[in-house]
Amino acid sequence: MTGDWEERTTPAVRPYVITGGRSGGPAATLPWETLVRAADAAATTGSAGLQPEHRRILELCQGLLSVAEIAAHLGQPPSVVQVLLADLIERGLLVARPPVPAAERADVTMLRKVLHGLESRL
């Protein structure tokens, strides 16, 4: 050993500790693109009895943020953030907006008919 302290490259608190040993589950299956924001109840209830990570999420979510963005801000894996978000949603402190489904493909034959109709009028 050289006696010099090397900078930590791993988080000081492990994800297992942050989530209390819980992993995904039915309540924690938020897609990464799900948008969340702090509920009105979060301002009145306060953050008493919450973990520091929960409080940080509530601070971040004054506007809409995705699960992936929150994970990036916290420096935690999205799976850990999903568990934490599920906790806050269950307490009524966060509101989640599911991702907008991908648009269905337009019917090509219908588009061709419309194009043909427009061309015939020109």
* pLDDT value for 37: 93
* pLDDT value for 94: 92
14, amino acid identity: R
Mean pLDDT of 22-31: 68
Mean pLDDT of 35-39: 91
Give the residue with greater pLDDT, 122 vs 84. Answer: 84
Mean pLDDT score across all residues of the chain: 79
Q: Is residue 6 part of a domain?
A: no
Task: Give the closest residue to 15 by CA, choosing from 66, 81, 68.
Answer: 81
Q: Is residue 1 part of a domain?
A: no
Parent domain of 111: 15-121
SS3 37: strand
Q: Is residue 103 part of a domain?
A: yes
Mean pLDDT of 6-15: 57
Q: Is residue 97 part of a domain?
A: yes
Mean pLDDT of 80-98: 89
SS3 content of the chain, % helix, strand, coil (to 5): 45, 10, 45
Other C-beta atoms closer than 10 Å to the C-beta of 85 total 25
- Could you give the percent of the chain with pLDDT greater than 90? 26
Q: Is residue 25 part of a domain?
A: yes
Give the residue with greater pLDDT, 86 vs 22. Answer: 86
Give the chain's domain count. 1
Question: What's the CATH code of the domain at 29?
Answer: 1.10.10.10
Q: What is the pTM of this model?
A: 0.65
